């Protein structure tokens, strides 16, 4: 008897008209690190709750790899975070993450993402978040999707508005030593503004149990 696939996520892929999204692998992470060194946001801005882009450049790449490795190693049905590497024409341009905590019970996910600065302004952010929302709602059976962004993160809020998110409260954080408001957002299958293109998904059958989808 053939043994079961030990890491079924290696076969999972989401495809949109322009993008290919696959869970992180070591070769792809090397490309992601290179993209981060080319810049993620202007120095005067900080869109992330964890200001990882402020790290010493000498250690930024190593820190990124250790973070993604730790997330991959901790994945289990009760608590998982998928980091989809986003490729355009075969090249990694950013990452789109999806998180589920007690997903078999909550049926709720949250998302986060970033794209290299040199690829921003082309609608990639909207397309890649749309892809994982379609995946979560239609293939995993999610009933809610959450997101959040600082009040001054105009680009993120623009994407959320396009997709139909509703405001769901605020949370106060300290960012670089200053008080800042995070706007929390909520999306359901009923409010989701679906695209006019289909999402192609391969490999989900082998991953459903690992992600608590059944």
Print the domain residue range for 194: 8-207
| Distance in angstroms (rounded) separating the CA atoms of residues 124 and 119 | 8
How many domains is the chain partitioned into structurally?
A: 1
Does pLDDT of 111 surpass 80?
yes
Alpha helices in the chain (DSSP H): 26-37, 57-74, 103-106, 124-134, 154-163, 204-207
**Residue 35 class from Cβ within 10 Å (0-12 exposed, 13-18 middle, 19+ buried)?**
buried
- Residue 180 CA to residue 183 CA, distance in Å, equals 10
The tens digit of pLDDT for each residue in 42-60 reads 999 999 989 999 999 999 9
Q: Does 212 map to a domain?
A: no
2: in domain: no
Q: What is the CATH number of the domain that holds 162?
A: 3.40.630.30
| Predicted confidence (pLDDT) per residue in 124-154, tens digit | 999 999 999 999 999 999 999 999 999 999 9
Q: Residue 75: which of 7, 133, 137, 28 has the closest Cα?
A: 7
């Amino acid at each position: 008897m053939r043994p079961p696939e030990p890491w079924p996520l290696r076969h999972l892929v989401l495809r949109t008209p322009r993008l290919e999204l696959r869970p992180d692998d070591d070769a792809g992470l090397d490309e992601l690190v290179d993209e981060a060194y080319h810049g993620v946001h202007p120095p005067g801005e900080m869109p992330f709750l964890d200001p990882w882009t402020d790290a010493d450049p000498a250690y930024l790449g190593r820190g990124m790899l250790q973070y993604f490795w730790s997330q991959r190693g901790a994945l289990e049905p009760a608590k998982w975070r998928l980091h989809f590497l986003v490729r355009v024409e075969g090249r990694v341009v950013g990452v789109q993450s999806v998180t589920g905590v007690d997903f078999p019970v909550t049926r709720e996910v949250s998302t986060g993402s970033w794209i290299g600065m040199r690829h921003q302004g082309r609608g990639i952010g909207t397309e890649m978040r749309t892809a994982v929302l379609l995946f979560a709602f239609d293939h995993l059976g999610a009933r809610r999707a959450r997101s959040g962004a600082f009040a001054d993160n105009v680009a993120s809020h623009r994407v959320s508005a396009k997709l139909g998110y509703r405001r769901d409260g605020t949370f106060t954080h300290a960012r670089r030593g200053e008080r800042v408001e995070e706007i929390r957002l909520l999306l359901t299958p009923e409010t989701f503004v679906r695209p006019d293109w289909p999402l192609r998904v391969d490999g989900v059958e082998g991953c459903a149990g690992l992600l608590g989808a059944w």
